[in-house]
Amino acid sequence: MRFLVMVKSTPESEAGVGPSREELETMSKFNEQLLDDGRIVFAEGLTPSSEGVRVLFEGDAEPKVIDGPFAESKELVAGVWVLNGESLEDVVALMRRAPNPDARGGVIEIRPIAE
């Protein structure tokens, strides 16, 4: 099975403040282990929402394009993994070993990919 793992953004990541060198090195080591174990399908960080847009669909009206930044950073995504796993519990156990995505406190959301 494949799973989408989303690292939620923080006010710092939305301001374009990336992880420290030490945090990057720790995350790189974790990602290398995931790659060696055949778990990673895809993994990338995202730019702040100020560099993105949303396309809003409302009924039959012409879709609206809304420029970022977007107000609720707790609902935004700062990075993603697509991982191979045996079950949701398997990927949860794996991500419990992940480095904290933000030293001030981070959130990771895991969702199975419909196959």
Chunked into runs of 10 residues, the chain (115 residues) has average pLDDT values of 94 85 91 96 94 94 94 82 97 92 78 94
Look at residue 43 in the predicted model and tell me its pLDDT.
94
- pLDDT score for 90: 97
Q: Which two tokens stand for residue 51?
A: 């560099």
User: What's residue 65's pLDDT?
Assistant: 96
H helices present in the chain, as ranges: 11-14, 21-36, 88-96
CA–CA dist 76, 17 (Å, integer): 15
**Assigned CATH for 2-112:** 3.30.70.1060
Task: Give me 49's structure tokens.
Answer: 């929402």
SS3 10: coil
Cβ atoms of 110 and 96 closer than 8 Å: no
Distance (Å, rounded) from C-alpha 19 to C-alpha 98? Answer: 14
Domain boundaries of the chain, sorted by first residue: 2-112
